[in-house]
């Protein structure tokens, strides 16, 4: 029997739990660049407020507008907060911390908000993902229903 997480989130491909959740054709912004860039976002996370030291989160961006020019992978290396909020039947999970880009040495702060939508006809979404001084998702990114599994909003 597994340990119950009082507040956290799992983000994965619902057809293959070993793969990333995907949101295609998103307009994002990069610090120091005017306008937006279109590309695909790939998310993977396993985060629990009581196990921050073993929690994981990655965001990968593939530039489809100017192929390969702005591609990056962000990997969280520390988490500072995980907050679960019930929104009707749905659950929103806000995560903050720090991480690196493409395995570099510089740490960047991040804030991400994941929303688990209960209705089968509704898609889950990553409401926001901002890497301070580098990247902003600029709005909700829809991903397949079942990609976000909230832990902590449901009644136990």
7-31 residue pLDDT tens = 999 999 999 989 999 999 999 999 9
- Whole-angstrom distance, CA of residue 123 vs CA of residue 77: 28
Q: pLDDT value at position 106?
A: 97
Least confident piece of the model among 2-6, 50-54, 61-65, 140-144: 2-6
The three-state (H, E, C) secondary structure of the chain, written as one string = CCCCCCCEEEECECCECCCCEEEEEEEEEECCCCCCEEEEEEEEEEEECCCHHHCEEEEEEEECCCCCCCCEEEEEEEEEEEEEEEECCEEEEEEEEEEEECCCCCCEEEEEEEEECCCCCCCEEEEEEEECCCEECCCCEEECCCCEEEECCCCC
Q: What integer pLDDT is reported at residue 81 of this predicted model?
A: 97
pLDDT of residue 156: 42
Domain positions in the chain are: 21-151
Q: What is the pTM of this model?
A: 0.94
Each residue's pLDDT tens digit, 87-129:
888 999 999 999 999 999 999 999 999 999 987 778 999 999 9
Q: Cα 87 vs. chain centroid, distance in angstroms? A: 18
Confirm if 48 and 78 have CB atoms less than 8 A apart.
Answer: no
**Confidence grade of residue 154 (pLDDT, cut at 50, 70, 90):** low
What is the separation of C-alpha 107 from the centre of its chain, rounded to a whole number of angstroms?
Answer: 17
């Amino acid at each position: 029997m597994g340990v119950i997480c009082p507040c956290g989130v799992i983000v994965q491909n619902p057809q293959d739990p070993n793969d990333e959740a995907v949101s295609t054709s998103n307009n994002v912004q990069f610090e120091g660049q005017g306008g937006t860039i279109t590309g695909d976002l790939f998310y993977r996370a396993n985060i629990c407020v009581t196990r921050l030291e073993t929690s994981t989160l990655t965001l990968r961006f593939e530039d489809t507008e100017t192929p390969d020019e702005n591609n990056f992978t962000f990997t969280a290396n520390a988490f500072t907060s995980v907050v679960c909020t019930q929104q009707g039947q749905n659950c929103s999970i806000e995560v903050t911390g720090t991480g690196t880009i493409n395995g570099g040495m510089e740490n960047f702060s991040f804030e991400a908000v994941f929303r688990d939508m209960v209705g089968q006809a509704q898609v889950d979404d990553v409401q926001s993902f901002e890497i301070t001084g580098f990247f902003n998702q600029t709005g909700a990114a829809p991903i397949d229903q079942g990609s976000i599994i909230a832990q902590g909003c449901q009644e136990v």
